[in-house]
Amino acid sequence: MTIITISLPSTNPSIFFPSYPKPFKFNPKCSSQLTPTPSSLPKTGVIIIGAGLAGLAAATHLNSQNIPFVLLESSNAVGGRVRTDIVDGFLLDRGFQIFITAYPEAQKLLNYQSLNLQKFYSGAKIFYNGQFHTVADPLRHFFDSAKSLTNPIGSVFDKLLIGTTRIGVLTKSDEQILTAEEIPTIDLLKKLGFSDSIIGRFFRPFFGGIFFDPELETTSRLFDFIFKCLALGENTLPAKGISAIPEQLAARLPSDSILLNTKAVSVDFDDSNPPRVRLQNGDVLSGELGVIVAVEEPALVKLLPGKKNPVFKKPVRSTVCLYFTANPDEIPVRDPVLFLNGSGQGIVNNMFFVTNVAPSYAPPNKALISVSLIGLFEDVSEDELVLKVIQELSGWFGDKMVKEWKHLRTYRIEYAQPNQCPPTNLKKNPTIEQGLYLCGDYLTSATFDGALVSGRRAAESLLNDRAFFG
Ligand SMILES: Cc1cc2nc3c(=O)[nH]c(=O)nc-3n(C[C@H](O)[C@H](O)[C@H](O)COP(=O)(O)OP(=O)(O)OC[C@H]3O[C@@H](n4cnc5c(N)ncnc54)[C@H](O)[C@@H]3O)c2cc1C
């Protein structure tokens, strides 16, 4: 076994850890990735495992306090669930993801201007009873919204109720929302007085698509939080793909601080030593300042068996996203709008013409189409899924047009989000023991913002424990 002791090259670690007075030591026999020349040696005291948004946020906070760290990522790039593949010149996000500009933590961490955010229409077109009906945000698209008052996507009362619900969430702080009394979203909507028709035709496909939960059993806390963010911000995509978000965070970190293709297999911890991280190749890293485990919840159970009680009491949320391409004259609209299935039939939940929102997602003179399903459809082959989707969307847009679409790729994402049905605690304590911390969306809200918040909280807890503050 090779043990690499990681500590502060320029600072005496015993200042912070009288009980861990090990000298700085680097064993050159470790893996090629972990045998950099002395000049490229990661200057680190903290080991962060997982370079999704949570791990990147933790790293960003440590970096801002000049605390050295190393960020280990098992895959070949940063981002975790927020990744974009480039396929024949198309940008394919791994699953349909929207960045809401009003996410409060994201506002603090990201430079929106350089993300070159491309906006969706603030509303949706809903397929119901063989036709499309618009639901629009009255503050952004007043005339569309007024025209939609009498459409069959709910009553006039329902549409006014959306306005009062909006005022209700805007008067609460995020803290109040995330710690409020909770019930399932479906119960909240009924309690507020929404009719079955607007619930089935709008809320179910829209929020069911956000939570990957068509039953709308997800906590009302998450509904209120997202509803508030939607009221305050725009739905967007970065021009270079959703992975531009984690890439921006990673680009600000020291270049030698992120080790890709580096999988941690266990974290060992006892009272007398700093936590040790064992890598798949047999190497062991020892972090003088602690370890932050920023992996997704299913991976956590493997890394820390026994440290963390079983977490899968409720089924995780899954989704399938299929991409198609077409010539620009083979798509029916130019609007950057989300289409929802309000019919209560079929397997498509939502779809949109990606290049109408962000033309940069496809090569010139090509359109990109994204179609999302909720669930994993593990018993249905890819060919069958493609066929079913094409048949269903032929009923929406006409056979002549849709049969020209060419399938590009299918993403089946088993673990898209943790299940956040009540009872939830969206402010879980990141500390397992002093020196060992957790972050990830399962500790907060299953959103980009929740993951970023959790990363900050883990870093703050570590720094507090180590008395770096004050
Ligand atoms: C299809 C889809 C659509 C979504 N849509 C939205 C949306 O529109 N808006 C929104 O706000 N949120 C959305 N989300 C949720 C959001 O993406 C997640 O909540 C967030 O990205 C979670 O970040 P994380 O850092 O907690 O976890 P992850 O992104 O899962 O990061 C964990 C990282 O740990 C790494 N790792 C795991 N095990 C190891 C190991 N042993 N050693 C080293 N590294 C390891 C993984 O490779 C990964 O990079 C969506 C998610 C999906 C999948």
CA of 443 to the centre of ligand 1 (A): 12
* CA 62 vs CA 57, 65, 275, 394, 436: distances in Å: 9, 5, 18, 51, 15
Among residues 178, 200, 232, the one where a domain terminates is 232
205 and 161 belong to one structural domain: yes
Question: Residue 470: inside a domain, yes or no?
Answer: no
Asked whether the beta carbons of 226 and 93 are under 8 A apart, the reply is no
Q: Is the CB of 319 under 6 A from ligand 1?
A: yes
Three-state DSSP at 334 gives coil
CA of 52 relative to ligand 1 center, distance in Å: 5
Strands 2-6 and 117-119: unpaired
Number of domain units in the chain: 3
Query: pTM of the full predicted structure?
Result: 0.91
Task: State which ligand 1 atom lies nearest to the alpha carbon of 445.
Answer: 19
Residues 309 and 428 both lie in one domain:
yes
Same domain, 411 and 437: no
Q: Are strands 338-341 and 123-128 parallel, antiparallel or unpaired?
A: parallel
Whole-Å CA distances, 212 to 60, 391, 414: 29, 23, 11
Domain boundary among 211, 232, 253: 232
Q: Are 22 and 36 in the same domain? A: yes
Tokens encoding 333: 């609209």
Q: Which residues pair with 273 in a beta bridge?
A: none
Final residue of a structural domain among 209, 232, 255: 232
Residue 75 Cβ inside 6 Å of ligand 1? The answer reads yes
Do residues 47 and 177 share a domain? no
> Within this chain, do residues 287 and 433 fall inside the same structural domain, yes or no?
yes
Three-state SS sequence of 159-172: HHHHHHHHHHHHCC
128 part of a folded domain: no
Same domain for 104 and 167?
no
Please report whether residue 15 resides in a domain: yes
The whole domain housing 14 covers 2-80+244-313+423-465
* Residue 302 placed within a domain: yes
The domain that contains 348 carries what CATH number?
A: 3.90.660.20
448 ligand 1 Cβ < 6 A: yes
Atom of ligand 1 at shortest distance to CA of 448? Answer: 11
Residue 384: inside a domain: yes
- Is residue 372 situated within a structural domain? yes
Nearest ligand 1 atom to the CA of 103 is 11
Q: What is the CA(321)–ligand 1 centre distance, in A?
A: 16
**Is 451 a pocket residue for ligand 1 (Cβ < 6 Å)?**
yes
**CA of 90 relative to ligand 1 center, distance in Å:** 22
Q: What is the pLDDT along the chain (470 residues), one digit of tens a residue?
A: 445 544 433 333 322 322 332 322 223 233 333 333 333 333 359 999 999 999 999 999 999 999 999 999 999 999 999 999 999 999 999 999 999 999 999 999 999 999 999 999 999 999 999 999 999 887 788 888 777 888 889 899 998 999 999 999 999 999 999 999 999 999 999 999 999 999 999 999 999 999 999 999 999 999 999 999 999 999 999 999 999 999 999 999 998 999 999 999 999 887 777 888 999 999 999 888 999 999 999 999 889 876 655 455 688 999 999 999 999 999 999 999 999 999 999 999 999 999 999 999 999 999 999 999 999 999 999 999 999 999 999 999 999 999 999 999 999 999 999 999 999 999 999 999 889 999 999 999 999 999 999 999 999 999 999 864 43
* 8 Å CB contact between 320 and 372: yes
209 in ligand 1 pocket by Cβ < 6 Å? no
Residue 124 lies in a domain: no
Are 108 and 90 contained in the same domain?
A: yes
